[in-house]
Amino acid sequence: MIRRVPLGLSNKHIHLSQEDLDYLYGEGHELTPVKMLRQPGQFAAAEKVTIIGPKGKLENVRVLGPVRKETQLEVNICDGFTLGINKVPIRLSGHLEDTPGFIIEGPDGRRLVKDKGMIVAERHIHLSKEEGELYNIKDKDIVSVRFKGPRGLVFNNVLCRVGDGHLSEMHIDIEEGNAAGARNNQLVCIIDPLTFSSEEVLLQDKGERVFMVGDLPTIEVQDQDQKNLDKEVVERAKRAEKEEAAAK
C-alpha cells in the first residue's frame, strides 16, 4: 500500500500559556483565530509578538492557538542564529526541560522573560487512530518519508503521533522543507524497509512510478561493497606476503 500524507510546513511560531497571554495582552485576552490549521482545533492567531535573544530579535512571530499549558517557541535553526542561540535543541512539542530561554515583547512593548521553552520542532507525522490502523503505524513508530521532485529527499527519523485529536499530516519546518524544495499540502510518502523489497528501489525520479523505501537497502549494498573491498585487500596482502617469501 502506498501511504501518503499531506505536508504542513511550519515557520517560526509561538504557543502561549493563558498566564503569559494575559501578561502580554491584558487580563483575560482571547486569541483571535485567522486561519484554522489541519490539526483539529488548532489555529493561527492574529496576534504576533517579538522574540528577543542575546544577539538579535525576531519580529512578527505568529502566535498559534489555542493556549497551551506552557509557553513554547518553535524556531528554525537559522532563527536561533539570529537570536544568538546556536544550539537550540530538537525536541518534540511539550518537552521543554533544559531548553533555552528568551524574552517575549508584546504589542505595547511589555516584556516577559522566559527561562526555557525554545525548541526546533522534531519532524513528525500526525495520524488519526483510523489512519494509523489503515497504514499499520502505531503511536511513536519511527518511519522514513520520501519527497519527490528535483530536490527529492528521504527524511529519516520521523516520529509518528497516532491517536484521537490527530489528522494525517507531516510537519517539518521551513528549512527542512526548502532543503527538499517542498510545498505546503504536497503529498509525501511514508516508507520503510518492510514496505518494499530492495529490488524495487529506484534511486532517481524520472517522472514515472517510483518505488519508495528507506535507506536500509542502500546501506546493505554499501556494506557488501565494503566487505568485497576488505576481502580483496586481505587477499592482495596475502599474495604480496607469498611473493615476498618466494623471492627470499
Interface residues for Zn ion in 213-242 (CB under 5 A)?
none
**CA 74/CA 171 separation, integer angstroms:** 12
Task: Tell the smallest beta-carbon distance from residue 105 to Zn ion (Å).
Answer: 26
Q: Of 106-114, 127-135, 165-173, 199-207, which part binds Zn ion (CB under 5 A)?
A: 165-173
SS (H, E, C) 58-98: EEEEEEEEEEECCCEEECCHHHHHHHCCCCCCEECCCCCCC
Check if the beta carbon of residue 82 is closer than 8 Å to that of residue 58.
yes
Q: Of 23-31, 107-115, 170-178, 195-203, which part binds Zn ion (CB under 5 A)?
A: 170-178
Task: Tell the smallest beta-carbon distance from residue 44 to Zn ion (Å).
Answer: 13
**Helices (runs of H) and strands (runs of E) counted in the chain:** 5, 15
Count of residues engaged in binding Zn ion, rule: CB under 5 A: 1
Taking the least distance from each CB to Zn ion, the nearer of 142 and 240 is: 142
Looking up cell 516584556 gives 111
Taking the least distance from each CB to Zn ion, the nearer of 187 and 234 is: 187
Task: Tell the smallest beta-carbon distance from residue 67 to Zn ion (Å).
Answer: 17
Taking the least distance from each CB to Zn ion, the nearer of 82 and 186 is: 186
Task: Tell the smallest beta-carbon distance from residue 121 to Zn ion (Å).
Answer: 7
Taking the least distance from each CB to Zn ion, the nearer of 84 and 165 is: 165
What burial class does residue 24 get, using C-beta atoms within 10 Å of its C-beta: 0-12 exposed, 13-18 middle, 19+ buried? Answer: buried
171 binds Zn ion (CB under 5 A): yes
Q: Of 105-113, 132-140, 167-175, 227-235, which part binds Zn ion (CB under 5 A)?
A: 167-175
**CA 245/CA 243 separation, integer angstroms:** 5
Taking the least distance from each CB to Zn ion, the nearer of 3 and 171 is: 171
DSSP label at residue 199: G
Strand bridging mode 169-173 / 187-191: unpaired
Computed on alpha carbons and rounded to an integer, the radius of gyration of the chain in Å comes to 24
Taking the least distance from each CB to Zn ion, the nearer of 91 and 171 is: 171
Q: Of 96-104, 129-137, 163-171, 184-192, which part binds Zn ion (CB under 5 A)?
A: 163-171
**CA 62/CA 54 separation, integer angstroms:** 20
- Residues lying near Zn ion in the complex (CB under 5 A) are found at 171
